Structure 1
């Protein structure tokens, strides 16, 4: 399959924060190569509109990541969300010929016909809801299609994998309101207790945008087989994460962790895909790159590497699985999500 003909639907990246907050901790550590004047179209990050368009027809979920600790930004969670969401709108306006926002999940491919990148706005960490559910209506108006309920710590909704509590009573109400607004709940980062609560209270399919298999790599950010099967049975999605720490256990052992370890191989990443396929995930697996928010393998370092990655997946698992994983599963899910 030629590079220009592949279709890509990526459920998660942190590019917006890296660009709009590049000179503020903690973003400056991960965006050290961002320079004043860089924007969504042209930059030295893992994702740019220019390189995405060159790789194929691309739909990208751009997350507003709200860190648990905002003390160095001087912003409250809802203020932080508004700042980054405003940057997203400015970039859409500035680069109209290159990108358009997807407000209806059934319209993803309309952007492709114009040769543009399709952009979905999402939120990572529901902490901006601390002032009440009304922020959800604002997010819906902004075109937010999905919210990761927590990051690693605890917020007003529940707890991430660094904490133990499940969903709060407010979190259960928020989940219900999100479903009413057709904003998809994302359980990546949520701990096991919170996952169980989502499973008990959700009435619509939910997703894990960037989580791998815990049976293959024992990181708590990854999904247990039970959790994957629950998402499968609800008709949700699971995005394969390219972060090395969620692919191979050796990056989570000892004090050095990443230091001195050999790079992750395609075989190691493919073990996660293969395991999810063994669990009946052929219509569930998708892409959840975590680009511009994590350390990825050298051979999967940005948009320019996606055609070669697609070729590897197609060679190992077949063209049908590659097309489903790279695009069709996510596109079908978000089209269904518009239905009552």
Structure 2
């Protein structure tokens, strides 16, 4: 029987609303509908939908809300006010609620719900095709929180993890491709997150912001979708110093499957994964490095970020859909990982983290 997988980073609602993808449909139907569209580089090349999650036994995901605010003069896409960004995240929340109404998805906000979802997926009397996808709600970049008081509102509808930043300048913290410390609002937000025991996701923080956040925040910390800077030497990936600090905090680091985050040779919208022979196994190099630093397999897992503004044109060439994450069973075994190690990477590390954080 194939293993159960927990994927800690998928932008499902963004794909549903901003890419206008009906994720309840089979992947071939979604691709067919986009065949003649050219507004985005990944049209017709998506890898994620709810049937493919079931096909891959990915029964729990950390699913995002995302609404970036871009300041005047910024070249990045985003909303021009916090209120617009908040409204987008509320539309995304409404989509998740619609998936719940259809029985397609089930929100997970506490240990009881987590264990119930695991029990469902361990029940072999029910076909996987009939099981709902459990989701833990995460906010990627905090810009959409109009002010810190909005965190309580978000917690009440089920938000359980927060990235302070995303790409570019941020209202709470600068993000990828920028420098600098957390803002005063960012420190205030961390204080409120601690009161609510919300998971701090360190992904996208600057180096200065990373250290500042870990020094300041005493609650649970993870890194949902991050690779290793030793192999891809840019600020978006984790340095050995950062990996060491995360290990010390009992964090789990989810590997992401965007080729530019896997292999330094890859250039967005220029390179071809097949020509560069970027395969799923490349991720194991990143996992190996963290495991060697930790002395065990307890701190690495999957946070695929598949369809996070890219598709097969920017994924390992031996991955056609998110269900191909199952290929890691054989890949890891060939690389000498034990059955226990593989189970840790597929789901057990995230589950252990959540049981500890939510106890």
**Same fold, TM-score > 0.5, yes or no:** yes
Q: CA deviation at 1:252?
A: 4.3
Deviations 1:86-108 (A, max 9, x none): 111111112x1x43111114532
- 1:240: which partner in 2? 255
CA distance in 1 between counterparts of 2:164 and 2:227 reads 17
- Contact 2:62–2:135 (CA<8 Å) still a contact in 1? yes
CA distance in 1 between counterparts of 2:273 and 2:320 reads 18
Matched, 1:187 2:202: yes
Deviations 1:183-237 (A, max 9, x none): 1111111110110111210112311110001012113211001101101101111
- 2:341: which partner in 1? 321
Matched, 1:200 2:215: yes
Q: CA deviation at 1:287?
A: 0.6
Do the aligned partners of residues 261 and 160 (structure 1) sit closer, same or farther apart at CA in structure 2, a change above 3 Å counting? farther
Deviates more, 1:49-58 or 1:242-251: 49-58
Q: CA deviation at 1:40?
A: 3.9
Structure with a larger share of its residues in helix: 1
**One of 301, 322, 342 as aligned partner of 1:303:** 322
Structure 2 SS opposite 1:76: helix
- Contact 2:68–2:79 (CA<8 Å) still a contact in 1? no
- Contact 2:162–2:198 (CA<8 Å) still a contact in 1? yes
Structure-to-structure mapping, 1:1-340, within 5 angstroms: 2-3=1-2, 6-22=3-19, 34=21, 38-40=22-24, 42-43=26-27, 44=30, 45-56=46-57, 58-68=59-69, 69-71=77-79, 76-94=84-102, 96=103, 98-105=104-111, 107-114=113-120, 115-129=131-145, 131-252=146-267, 256-257=270-271, 261-280=275-294, 282-293=297-308, 294=310, 295-316=314-335, 317-339=337-359
Q: CA deviation at 1:302?
A: 2.1
Structure 1 SS opposite 2:174: coil
- Contact 1:244–1:251 (CA<8 Å) still a contact in 2? yes
CA distance in 2 between counterparts of 1:236 and 1:88 reads 27
CA distance in 2 between counterparts of 1:62 and 1:73 reads 23
Deviates more, 1:167-176 or 1:39-48: 39-48
Aligned residues between the structures: 319
Deviates more, 1:73-82 or 1:148-157: 73-82
Unmatched 5+ residue regions in structure 2? Answer: 31-45, 70-76, 121-130
Deviations 1:268-327 (A, max 9, x none): 221101101111152111111001113311222322212222321233222111110110
CA distance in 2 between counterparts of 1:110 and 1:57 reads 15
CA distance in 1 between counterparts of 2:84 and 2:142 reads 12
- Contact 2:56–2:326 (CA<8 Å) still a contact in 1? yes
Structure 1 SS opposite 2:265: helix
Do the aligned partners of residues 260 and 103 (structure 1) sit closer, same or farther apart at CA in structure 2, a change above 3 Å counting? closer
Structure 2 SS opposite 1:299: coil
Do the aligned partners of residues 169 and 190 (structure 1) sit closer, same or farther apart at CA in structure 2, a change above 3 Å counting? same
